[in-house]
Amino acid sequence: MKKTILTSMVLILILFWLPSCAGVSQEEYDRVSSDLAAAQTQIQSLQADLSKAQAQIQSLQGDLTEAQAQIQSLQSDIEVADKNPAEALAYAEFLDILMYHAFRDCGITPRFTFEDDIEWLVEVRSRASDIGGTELSGWIKELERHNEAVMSDLWDYCLGGIEKALK
């Protein structure tokens, strides 16, 4: 009897277990296969899009590098353009100060006025120091010694400085 009960129980278990071993239904298999094919197609499409995007990024990085170089060049040009008129103006004002006596003697109202020759000479030294240059400082020393012959050299120097700054 024990054998019969045991056999019956095993048969009952096999009967319940057997349908679960039947596997996946054809309908379920077809659906999963279709989903897999769609996912693989989508992966291929996304990989193609990724390749295009990476190529675009490389192209844009090249464009960015080129644009940055152009910006740097333009900034350098701006700095030169800002500096050059200021330099030319410094030479022009220095020339104007140098010509103070000539303007005054001719009855022309000068842009700058000075109480006396000492104040004028102090301003000439100061402007010459701002402009700089060893040749200029030598002429200023001669001017301090009342050597008026250097005045035309100073005028030429200033006009050359203006021309050079504006080129």
Report the C-alpha gap between 166 and 49 in whole angstroms: 54
Residue 98 and residue 157 in contact, taking contact as beta carbons nearer than 8 Å:
no
User: Considering just the CA atoms, what is the radius of gyration of the chain in Å?
Assistant: 47
The number of folded domains in the chain is: 1
Do the domain assignments include residue 30?
no
Q: Using an 8 Å Cβ cutoff, are 96 and 110 in contact? A: yes
Looking at residue 114, what is its pLDDT? 92
Give the residue with greater pLDDT, 5 vs 91: 91
The two three-digit tokens of residue 28, written as one number:
């379920």
Asked if residue 88 is part of any domain, the answer here is yes
The two three-digit tokens of residue 43, written as one number? 């992966």
Mean pLDDT of 152-167: 87
Structural domain of residue 114, as residue ranges? 63-167
pLDDT of residue 78: 65
Q: Which two tokens stand for residue 156?
A: 């030429």
* pLDDT value, residue 64: 66
Q: How many residues does the chain have?
A: 167
pLDDT (tens digit per residue) in 77-133: 667 666 678 888 888 898 899 888 888 889 999 888 899 989 999 999 899 988 887
pLDDT band at 56 (very low <50, low <70, confident <90, very high): confident
The tens digit of pLDDT for each residue in 12-50 reads 766 665 555 556 788 888 888 888 888 898 989 999 989
Structure tokens at 35: 């989903």
Rounded to an integer, the average pLDDT of 53-64 is: 82
- Tell me, yes or no, if the pTM score tops 0.85: no
Mean pLDDT along residues 63-85: 70
Give the 3-state secondary structure of the chain: CHHHHHHHHHHHHHHHHHHHCCCCCHHHHHHHHHHHHHHHHHHHHHHHHHHHHHHHHHHHHHHHHHHHHHHHHHHHHHHHHHHHHHHHHHHHHHHHHHCHHHHHHHCCCCCCCCCCHHHHHHHHHHHHHHHCCHHHHHHHHHHHCCCHHHHHHHHHHHHHHHHHHHC
The model's confidence at residue 146, banded by pLDDT at 50, 70 and 90, is: confident
pLDDT at 8 over 60: yes
In a domain, 144, yes or no: yes
pLDDT top residue among 111 and 2? 111
Q: Is residue 91 part of a domain?
A: yes
